[in-house]
């Protein structure tokens, strides 16, 4: 196989797509790589998921930018598979096709009241404040005094922390203007962070948990009785280490002097499983059931209680959204695959391969592993000779589709950075504005 005759298509320009493009570009010099994204902007979760006050994490975008700018690599933004191109057309065009579409759909709580006004999935909510165009018009209700976040992962922490910060504490973030305005107008006094299991089972990472200690207007409430003195038997080593470090931080919070003069309270509440959301048209209360842990699982004990909650955000994980023809595991909500292999010539990487777990660098390891798998397969099977971008370009011409290319993205980037005025950037959050900027 001559790499120069190889055409590689990657669907999704998020971290996994960029990492796999970089790895294959290095190992297959001369291969042509097209990276598609449904949005006019690249970088997936780095732009639309990573918290706007975690700018250090976003620095990885500079490396991805270099990947997209390399010879032989094309960025094709604003191309939705299923709308502008079909899976069959992609397979006809590329010798190697890699699906890295992430996990964009919120998992459902499956409890009564979930569809009431004021109830949001974390994907919707985060997408709204991070300027993902599909979420731009969400305008979440933040007009009540009490807001509950269900889930004990880092996404739940991101949301609570951002809501707890003052405008000054958000000044160096790239939180979108529409979200800044809404956060400043909000009068939330109580934020509940609710875990169905205990603090030893929470999936928060310690650095993220420790950030709460720095919030100037927030009083952190942790019930010391909920913090175990001894960790449960049988925790896997990694979980045990994480639990020890997290408990240390939670103990310092529980021992805090009362911070009476602080206007916002963040309550860490454990062993509480959501049962129902109550309200007439609009969420007003969250019903929870006390749990105990058996063999690592949350077992409801029958005793329920209610907290006020005018806004409820479930941060309980995500599913991928397949396009027509893509082999899909409906139960797990991921692309059906065997270690990254989907079908002959088709591979998958990242959250759509293994579920929504792991920070950005975890996707690098996954991408490198699948790149090696692809190289091993290429060494065995005679591959090559498909038309690649030439077929795609003729289909675009036929259908009147005009992708946003890398130069277009650079124009968007420049416009956003210029509009930042002291902030890292002011994101354009509507498709029409992004396209106008891309087309200069």
- Spell out a b/e string for 381-419, using b for 16 or more CB atoms within 10 Å of the CB, else e: eebbebebbebbbebbeeeebebbbbebbebbbebbeee
- Minimum CB distance to ligand NAP smaller for 10 or for 157: 157
For ligand NAP, the binding residues (CB under 6 A) are 54, 109, 150-156, 158, 195-197, 201, 203, 205, 208, 273-274, 298, 315-317, 356-359
- Minimum CB distance to ligand NAP smaller for 6 or for 283: 283
Which residues neighbour 242 within 8 Å (Cβ) at sequence distance 6 or greater?
205, 206
- Minimum CB distance to ligand NAP smaller for 362 or for 431: 362
**What SS3 class is residue 356?**
coil
Provide the minimum distance between the beta carbon of 154 and ligand NAP in the complex, in angstroms, as a whole number.
3
In DSSP notation, 244-297 reads: HHHHHHHHHHHTSPP-TT-SEEEEEE-SEEEEEEE-SSB--EEEEEEEEEETTE
Provide the minimum distance between the beta carbon of 115 and ligand NAP in the complex, in angstroms, as a whole number.
16
- Minimum CB distance to ligand NAP smaller for 32 or for 271: 271
Provide the minimum distance between the beta carbon of 349 and ligand NAP in the complex, in angstroms, as a whole number.
16
Residue 289 and residue 271 in contact, taking contact as beta carbons nearer than 8 Å: no
- Minimum CB distance to ligand NAP smaller for 208 or for 416: 208
Q: Which residue(s) pair with 121 in the sheet?
A: 314
Which residues neighbour 107 within 8 Å (Cβ) at sequence distance 6 or greater?
121, 314, 316, 317, 318, 319, 333
Strands 218-222 and 264-269: parallel
Provide the minimum distance between the beta carbon of 269 and ligand NAP in the complex, in angstroms, as a whole number.
12
Provide the minimum distance between the beta carbon of 140 and ligand NAP in the complex, in angstroms, as a whole number.
17
CA distances from 308 to 269, 276, 379 (A): 14, 12, 61
Provide the minimum distance between the beta carbon of 261 and ligand NAP in the complex, in angstroms, as a whole number.
29
C-alpha span between 116 and 394 (Å, rounded)? 46
- Minimum CB distance to ligand NAP smaller for 78 or for 152: 152
Report the residue closest to ligand NAP, judged by CB.
Answer: 153
Provide the minimum distance between the beta carbon of 263 and ligand NAP in the complex, in angstroms, as a whole number.
25
- Minimum CB distance to ligand NAP smaller for 123 or for 388: 123
């Amino acid at each position: 196989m001559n790499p120069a005759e190889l055409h590689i298509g990657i669907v999704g320009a998020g971290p996994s797509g960029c990492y796999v493009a970089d790895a294959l570009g290095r190992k297959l010099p001369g291969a042509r790589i097209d990276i598609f994204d449904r949005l006019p902007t690249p970088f997936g979760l780095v732009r639309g998921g990573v918290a706007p006050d975690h700018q250090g994490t976003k620095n990885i975008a500079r490396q991805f930018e270099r990947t997209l700018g390399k010879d032989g690599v094309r960025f094709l933004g604003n191309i939705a598979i299923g709308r502008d191109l079909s899976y069959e057309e992609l397979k006809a065009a590329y010798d190697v096709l890699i699906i890295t579409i992430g996990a964009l759909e919120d998992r459902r709580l499956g409890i009564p009241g979930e569809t009431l006004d004021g109830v949001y999935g974390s994907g919707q909510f985060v997408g709204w404040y991070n300027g993902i165009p599909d979420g731009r018009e969400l305008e979440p209700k933040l007009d009540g005094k009490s807001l509950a976040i269900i889930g004990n992962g880092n996404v739940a922490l991101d949301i609570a922390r951002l809501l707890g910060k003052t405008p000054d504490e958000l000044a160096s973030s790239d939180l979108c203007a529409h979200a800044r305005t809404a956060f400043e107008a909000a009068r939330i006094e109580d934020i509940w962070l609710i875990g169905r299991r205990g603090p030893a089972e929470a999936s928060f990472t310690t650095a993220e948990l420790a950030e709460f200690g720095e919030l100037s207007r927030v009083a952190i409430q942790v019930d010391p009785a909920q913090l175990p003195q001894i960790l449960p038997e049988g925790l896997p080593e990694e979980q045990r280490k994480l639990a020890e470090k997290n408990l240390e931080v939670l103990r310092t919070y529980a021992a805090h002097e009362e911070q009476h003069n602080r206007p916002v309270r963040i309550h860490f509440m454990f062993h509480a499983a959501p049962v129902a959301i109550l309200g007439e048209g609009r969420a007003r209360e969250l019903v929870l059931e006390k749990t105990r842990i058996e063999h690592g699982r949350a077992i409801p004990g029958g005793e329920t209680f209610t907290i006020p909650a005018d806004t409820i955000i479930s941060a309980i994980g995500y599913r991928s959204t397949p396009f027509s023809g893509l082999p899909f595991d409906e139960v797990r909500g991921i692309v059906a695959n065997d270690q990254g292999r989907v079908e002959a010539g088709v591979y998958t990487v990242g959250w759509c391969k293994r579920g929504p777990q792991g920070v950005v660098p975890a996707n690098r390891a996954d991408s490198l592993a699948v790149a090696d798998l692809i190289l091993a397969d290429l060494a065995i099977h005679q591959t090559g000779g498909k038309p690649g971008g030439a077929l795609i370009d003729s289909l675009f011409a036929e259908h009147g589709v005009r992708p946003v290319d890398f130069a277009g993205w650079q124009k968007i980037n420049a416009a956003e950075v210029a509009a930042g005025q002291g902030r890292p950037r002011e994101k354009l959050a509507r498709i029409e504005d992004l396209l106008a900027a891309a087309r200069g």
